[in-house]
Amino acid sequence: MKKRFGFNFILIVSAALIMFIVGSILLVRHNFNKITEMNIRYYLEIVKTDYLEGMDPDVIIDRHEGIEDYIRITFMDVDGNVIADSAADVLENHLDRPEFVNVGETFIRESATLSRRMMYLAYQFTDNNYVRVAIPLNSVLPFLNDFSGLSLLLASAILVIVVILNGIMVKQTMKPFQNLTKSLKDVANGNYSELLPVEKYSEINALLNEINDINKNISETIKSLNNEKQKTDFLLEHINQGVCVLDNQGNVIMANRFLRELFNFNDEAHYLKHYRFLFHDKQIDQAIEKTQKAQSGTTIVIEIGEAFYSVTVTHVDKSWRGVPGIFLSFNDVTAVKNIENLKRDFFVNASHELKSPLTSIMGSAEIIASGLIKDEANIIDLSKRIFEDSKRMNKLVFDMLTLSKYENYMPEAAYSSVNLKTIIKEVFSNLGLLAKNKKIELIDESDDIKINASHEHMTQLLGNLVENAVFYGKENGYVKVGAKSEPGKIIIEVADNGIGIPKADQNRVFERFYRVDKARSFKTGGTGLGLSIVKHLVLVYQGQIEVESKEDVGTKMSITIPVFNTSK
């Protein structure tokens, strides 16, 4: 400890002396440069006055012949040709020299002609000729060298004195501790000796005790604050919500991870910068201005990319900084917005789909009720039309209810084991008459596989796929249904050689009420909801469905269900 104290003290004094010497040299050099600049401007004024009074440049240079070692005078025309120079007879073009490029400013550089470091200052007359005055700086170097040497000598002497005094002071300071150590060693060796008094250092002991108590309290307080900060930081960084705080000037003083990722927040570009640099959104800007003006709060919904966010802007009277501010929270409401859009589209499409058969029913019923048609055959025809449209409406309503049920369906904890081959036979039996009327062969190529599922779900899924394939199949065609088990999954395929699906429509066939061939669908009684029901049933079982189709060749629907829903 004694050596460390001495070394640190000498190191500090040495650093101070070095800084003093360097600062002094730089200050002296600066002052000499200032004095030189004053002199050069003084001599320039003399030369300017002589020239403006009409004196020839050579005459002006001759007037200063006695001081050519101290001052150099150069006259140059507007093209850079030297007219006269007190230091040389023949010179190259000087127009590119910095003192001529920046007339009126002093420059210190090495002279290419005289090989001396000089200070230059130029002036341009109204006739566009130039005059330049230069003073060599070499005359200052001897003084600077002497000053530097003297400073180093004084610094060395001071350092020696400091080292001596430091040794004496450290020795005196450490003496009580050395005596205490000696006494403790004597006691440890069994030799009793009286401890030297250290009363004059009792303040140090009391101070150390106080410092220990204070440090203990501070340590516990800091630990508690760190724990609370870690909790707060953890919550802010992991909540699925953007949080941002602005000060009363509108500068960003806090943003959590969610918001940083949402707006590509960068500390250098956005922290303690105005919020407009971060958000670039007119709605947010207006909401913040409104909140600042009214000192209340407001909520808006904005669109970022394909997502929607509810932004709540609140005025706070006092933040953790003790000043007013603005608190913003961003909540992802994309799912809610999409549900609203889906509901709106569903009701619009459903109304449109129900309108046609309902109009037909009302029209036919009105004709019958009016008594205008007496022919029994026409009445029967209208009654059949009412019956067919009623069946179409009933099927449409049934499919809408089914779709609604599966959209909000919560998977059961356990399903019963059902045999896919048995379900395929049931579906073929139910659709046999329809397939026979269209001369379409129903072919079962499935293995004997069992799946943990709802019997109703699998019947609905396979029934809609097969019915869809029959509706859009060709006469004398076929519909093949296959089911096979592979490692980790079960695959169900329904293939036909029907009219196929155009490539542009293949990504949309699972949308509600979407039909590839609207006229054919209307004629066959299709509702446009069958494949949408199939898609939601597949999602219930965490599966996937793919479409392979080519126009006038056929279509194949492939469903993959994870293995944990299957058994053999």
Q: 3-class secondary structure for 233-282?
A: HHHHHHCCCEEEEEECCCEEEEECHHHHHHCCCCHHHHCCCECHHHHCCH
| C-alpha–C-alpha distance, residues 224 and 229, integer Å | 9
Question: In sequence order, what are the beta bridge partners of 82?
Answer: 76
Claim to verify: residue 414 and residue 562 sit in the same structural domain: yes
Please count the CA atoms within 13 angstroms of the CA of 93 that sit on its side-chain side. 6
Q: Which two tokens stand for residue 319?
A: 């933040």
Q: What is the CATH number of the domain that holds 79?
A: 3.30.450.20
Residue 474, both tokens: 């060709």
CB neighbours (10 Å) of residue 428? Answer: 18
Q: Show the DSSP H helices in 189-199 as ranges.
A: none
> Are 278 and 366 members of one domain?
no
Out of 284, 300, 332, a domain closes at 332
> What is the rounded CA–CA span in Å between residue 279 and residue 557?
46
DSSP at 72: E
Task: Based on the fold, state whether residues 290 and 248 are members of the same structural domain.
Answer: yes
Give residue 527's pLDDT: 60
Residue at 450 is within a domain? yes
Same domain assignment for residues 316 and 363:
no
CA dist 414 and 510 (Å) reads 28
Residue type, 496: D
Place of tokens 């360097």: 22
Q: What is the CATH number of the domain that holds 509?
A: 3.30.565.10
The region, left, alpha or beta by phi > 0 then psi within -120 to 50, assigned to residue 212 is alpha
Q: What is the pLDDT of residue 81?
A: 85
Structural domain that includes position 37: 2-143
**Residue 187 maps to a domain:** no
Instruction: Enumerate helices (H) and strands (E) in the chain, giving the number of each.
Output: 16, 18
Give the C-alpha separation, 51 to 45, whole Å: 10
- Between CA 391 and CA 395, with CA 394 as vertex, the angle to 5 degrees is 85
95 with 133, same domain? yes
Main-chain phi, psi angles of 485, to 5 degrees? -110, 135
Kindly state whether residues 506 and 562 are assigned to the same domain.
yes
Establish if 158 belongs to a structural domain: no
Tokens 């707060």, located at residue? 232
14 neighbors 161 (Cβ within 8 angstroms): no
Asked if residue 555 lies in contact with residue 549, where contact means CB atoms within 8 angstroms, the answer is yes
pLDDT of residue 522: 46
Per-residue confidence band for 62, with pLDDT thresholds at 50, 70 and 90: confident
Structurally, how many domains does the chain consist of? 5
Q: Is residue 454 in some structural domain?
A: yes
How far is it, in rounded angstroms, from Cα 186 to Cα 195?
10
Of residues 53 and 87, the one with the higher pLDDT is 53
- Tell me if 180 is assigned to some domain: no
Domain boundary among 366, 393, 420: 393
pLDDT at site 399: 63
Give the relative orientation of helices 376-407 and 530-540 as an angle to the nearest 10 degrees.
20
Co-location of 417 and 556 in the same domain: yes
Q: What is the pLDDT of the chain when averaged over all its residues?
A: 76
80 Rama sector, left if φ>0, alpha if ψ -120 to 50, beta otherwise: left
Q: Is 467 within 8 Å of 434 (Cβ atoms)?
A: yes
Question: 527 in helix, strand or coil?
Answer: coil
Domain membership of residue 173 (yes or no) is no
**Residue for token pair 């200070």:** 119
User: Which contacts qualify for 103-108: CB closer than 8 Å, 24 or more apart?
Assistant: 103/130, 106/37, 106/40, 108/33, 108/137
Strand-pair partners of 251:
274
Q: Tokens 């004195």 identify what position? A: 161
Within 24-140, strands assigned E span 72-76, 82-85, 107-110, 117-124, 130-136
Question: Mean pLDDT, to the nearest integer, of 178-195?
Answer: 48
* Tens-place pLDDT, residues 478-508: 999 988 888 888 889 999 988 888 887 777 7
Question: For the CA atoms of the chain, what is the radius of gyration?
Answer: 49
82 in Cβ contact with 57 (< 8 Å):
no
* Residues 6 or more apart whose Cβ sits within 8 Å of residue 448: 419, 421
In this structure, which amino acid lies at residue 426? Answer: E
Whether residues 285 and 327 fall in one domain: yes
Burial 13-39 (b: 16+ CB within 10 A, else e): beeebeeebeeeeeebbeebeeebeee
As a whole number of angstroms, the distance between CA 131 and CA 40 comes to 12
Q: Are residues 517 and 382 in the same domain?
A: no
277 contacts 244 by C-beta, under 8 angstroms: no
- Those residues whose C-beta lies under 8 Å from the C-beta of residue 512, and which sit 6 or more positions away, are 345, 346, 349, 403, 528, 529, 532
Inter-residue long-range contacts of 339-345, CB under 8 Å, 24+ positions, other chains counted: 345/512
Q: Measured between alpha carbons, how far is 164 from 149 in angstroms, rounded to an integer?
A: 23
State mean pLDDT over 88-99.
Answer: 78
In the block, residue with structure tokens 């240079």: 61
pLDDT at 1 over 60: no
pLDDT digits (tens, 9 = 90+) for 447-479: 888 888 888 888 888 888 898 888 888 888 999
> Which tens digits make up the pLDDT trace of 206-255?
544 565 565 556 567 767 777 887 887 788 777 888 899 998 888 988 88
Which SS3 state, helix, strand or coil, does residue 542 take?
A: coil
**Residue 168: inside a domain:** no
Alpha-carbon span 239 to 234, nearest angstrom:
8
Distance in angstroms (rounded) separating the CA atoms of residues 98 and 94: 9
Q: For residue 322, is it within any domain?
A: yes
Residue 395 has pLDDT above 70, yes or no: no
Q: In the prediction, which pLDDT does 187 show? A: 43
- Residue 450 forms beta bridges with which residues? 419, 567
Q: What is the pLDDT of residue 549?
A: 85
In this prediction, residue 376 carries a pLDDT of 74
If asked whether residues 517 and 426 sit together in one domain, one would say yes
Largest CA distance in the chain: 142
Query: For 95-120, how does the pLDDT look when each residue is reduced to its tens digit (9 = 90+)?
Result: 888 888 888 888 888 877 767 788 88
The answer to whether 438 and 473 have CB atoms below 8 angstroms apart is: yes
Residues 73 and 92 in one domain: yes
356 and 215 within one domain = no
